[in-house]
Amino acid sequence: MRVDSAKRLTERALAAIAIALAVSGPFIFNEYWVGFILTQTFLLGIAAASLIFLSAYGGMVSLAQVALYGIAGFALGNMVTTEGKGLILGWNPWLSIVLAILITTLVGFVFGAISSRSAGIYFLMITLTYSVIANYFFGQVTVVSGFSGISGIDLRAPSFVGAEAEDPTRLYYVALVVAVLVYALLRFVRRTPFGLALQGVRDEPVRMASLGFSVPLHRTLAFTLAAFVASLAGILYVWWNGQIDPATIGLQGTIDLLIIAVLGGLGRLEGAWIGAFFFIVINNYVRDVELPLVGGSFNTIIGLVFLAIVVLSPDGLSGLWDRAWGLIRRGGAGPDRPAVATGTAGPA
């Protein structure tokens, strides 16, 4: 018990340090780190948090989060831009933001309703098909995008954000604030009656159903909330990137988000940002590498790192952390146990 409180204290201290570093980021780190690595960490972390929320509290591993974030990005792009590709509606940025979030949340509700009766690996597959449908939809229906995508979105961002190219620090702080708020929201939801029921549904759907809870309804609502969170990430993404195209939400993007979530740890919400950070850093710094015998490029290294993580620590980096504390608690004796089972996510 004492170790548990020590662990919690350490985690809080680390979080405080991380927040302090993040807040003073633009003054300590160089411009590339602020504008590219850290801002991207915050926004990809939000997207990954939507995935981890579903997996940790709902027992559903969803591959549709990238599609949802893309829908928000495309919706905003179509509504806000005044020239170029897409519908170019040229509406007010604030109205467009609200509408984009609404549209994505609604789509999330529909997707969630359709897949609410699936669980485990079937749920994974059906969410993958959403991802493919979204990718083809935005590629082929040229009136809303086309394969080149929509650009110039950052030029129409609200004034407190500004254009990312000119002053990345504004977007950095916006992303940071949204990330913190999302984290707080999801932690809060966990302790609400809905959140508790959701965790019950995750662990014992049959028992919950016999107690009168509607399992599909809870899953649908959880998916809708995750869609809402993903939409925030999508909006931040198009402000950061300035443009969005169907390849962002293709198979590669979907797998990348899954890698981020697994890297950070599917069992803990904090894993979202930890995973995003490590993924972005590895992608950036492991380049120009020559693998001696097997050949191949840095893509092989990323694959190997991912493989190593999944084999050695299926709970990702946050799982490593939990297990280290588990060791301390037990004084080093006893078998290892993963903090969260990565068996069937919900009964198959």
Partner 1 sequence: MTGTLHRPLQLAARGLLVGGIAFVLLYVLVIADPSPDIGGNWRTTTFGSAFDDWQSFARTLLNGLTFAGLLFIVASGFSLIFGLMRVVNMAHGSFFLVGGYLAYEVQQEMTGAEGGFGILGEEVNTWEWVLPALVAAGVIAVVGLGVQQVFLRWNQGQELRQALITIAISVIVADQVIAHFNGGIASSVTWPGWSNRLISLPLLGFDYSLARLVVLTLGVSVGVALWTWLYRTRTGMVIRAGVDDRQMTSALGINIQLTFAIAFLVGSALAAVGGVVGASQGSVAAGQDGQWLLNSLVVVIIGGLGSLLGAVAGSLLYGLVFSFSAVYLPTTGDNCCTQYSIVFTFILLALVLAFRPQGLFGRAG
Partner 2 sequence: MSRLKRHWKLVLPLGVLALAASVVATASLAASGAKAKEVRVAIMTDCKGTFGFGYEPDIGGALAAFAQYSGGKVKNAKKPSAGMTGITIAGVPVRIVGFGCGDDTAATAIKETKRLMEQLRADVMIGPLSGDEAVAVANYAKGKPSKTFVIGTAGSQDPTLQIAPKNMFRYHGDGAQWNAGIGEIAFKRLGWRNAAIVMDDYSFGWTSAAGIIADFCAIGGKITKRVFPPLNTTDYASFVQQLPAPDSVDGYFWVVGGTGTAASLTAFEQTYGRIDPKQHIGNLFFAFLGADKVVAPKVVGSYVGGFGTGPGLKTKQAKAYEAVVAKHYPGLNGGNYADGFVYNYYNAAWGFIQGLTKANGDLSKLAASMPRTLKSGYEVSDAGVVKLDANRQAVQDQFPLQIVKNGDAISTVVVGYVPNVDQSFGGLFTKSSPPPGRTQPACVKKKLPWQGKIKVVRNGVITNAVIK
Residues making contact with partner 2 (CB under 8 A): 28-33, 35-37, 136, 139-140, 142, 146-149, 151-152, 163, 165-166, 241-245, 247-248, 250, 252-253, 281, 284-285, 287-288, 297-299, 308-309, 312-313, 317, 320, 323-324, 327, 332, 336
The residues in 115-154 that bind partner 1, with binding defined as CB under 8 A, are: 115-118, 120-122, 124-126, 128-130, 132-133, 136-137, 140
Q: Got the DSSP string for 158-195?
A: -TTT--TTT-HHHHHHHHHHHHHHHHHHHHHHHHSHHH
Smaller CB separation from partner 2, 92 or 299: 299
Distance CA 177, CA 185 (A): 12
Residue 126 CB, nearest distance to partner 1 (Å)? 5
Under the criterion CB under 8 A, does residue 342 sit at the interface with partner 1?
A: yes
Separation in Å, CA 285 to CA 226, 278, 280, 289: 31, 10, 9, 10
Work out the widest C-alpha separation in the chain, in whole angstroms.
Answer: 65
| Six-digit token string for 314 | 């299926």
Closest approach of partner 2 to the CB of residue 149, in Å: 5
Question: What crossing angle do the helices spanning 271-285 and 251-264 adopt, rounded to 10°?
Answer: 120
216 makes contact with partner 1 (CB under 8 A)? yes
Distance, in Å, from the CA atom of 109 to the CA atom of 228, rounded to the nearest integer, reads 10
* Residues 231 and 104 sit within 8 Å (Cβ to Cβ): yes
The minimum distance between CB 100 and partner 2, in angstroms, equals 19
Q: Which helix (DSSP H) or strand (DSSP E) does residue 8 occupy?
A: helix 2-23
If contact means CB under 5 to 8 A according to the sort of partner, which of partner 2, partner 1, none does residue 304 touch? partner 1
Q: Give the one entry of partner 1, partner 2, none that residue 122 binds, where binding means its C-beta sits below a cut-off of 5 to 8 angstroms depending on kind.
A: partner 1
User: Please, what is the minimum distance in Å from the beta carbon of residue 146 to partner 2?
Assistant: 7
What lies within 8 Å, CB to CB, of 259 at 6+ separation is 275, 279, 306
Q: Which is nearer to partner 2, 292 or 336 (CB)?
A: 336
User: Taking contact as CB under 8 A, which single stretch among the options 21-29, 41-49, 179-187, 300-308 is the one that binds partner 1?
Assistant: 300-308
241, interface contact from partner 2, partner 1, none, CB < 5-8 Å by kind: partner 2
Q: Which is nearer to partner 2, 94 or 136 (CB)?
A: 136
343: partner contacted, choices partner 1, partner 2, none (Cβ within 5-8 A by kind): partner 1
Joined together, the tokens standing for residue 84 give: 């170029």
Query: With contacts defined by CB under 8 A, how many residues of the chain interact with partner 1?
Result: 53
196 binds partner 1 (CB under 8 A): no
Number of helices and strands (H, E) in the chain? 15, 0
CB count within 10 Å of CB 217 equals 14
Please tell me whether residue 106 binds partner 1 under the rule CB under 8 A: no
Residues 218-237 that bind partner 1 (CB under 8 A): 220
- Sequence length of the chain is 348
- 63 and 124 Cβ atoms separated by less than 8 Å: yes
Judged by beta carbon distances under 5 to 8 A according to partner kind, the member of partner 1, partner 2, none in contact with residue 188 is: none
The site partner of 270 among partner 1, partner 2, none (C-beta below 5 to 8 Å per kind) is: none
Measured from the Cβ of residue 330, the count of other Cβ atoms closer than 10 Å reads: 13
Helix axes 2-23, 168-191, angle to 10 degrees: 160
20-28, 38-46, 235-243, 339-347 -> range binding partner 1 (CB under 8 A): 339-347
Look up residue 117 and give its amino acid: R
| Interface with partner 1 (CB under 8 A) | 61, 113-118, 120-122, 124-126, 128-130, 132-133, 136-137, 140, 214-217, 220, 251, 255, 258-259, 262, 266, 294-297, 299-300, 302-304, 306-307, 310-311, 314, 341-345, 347-348
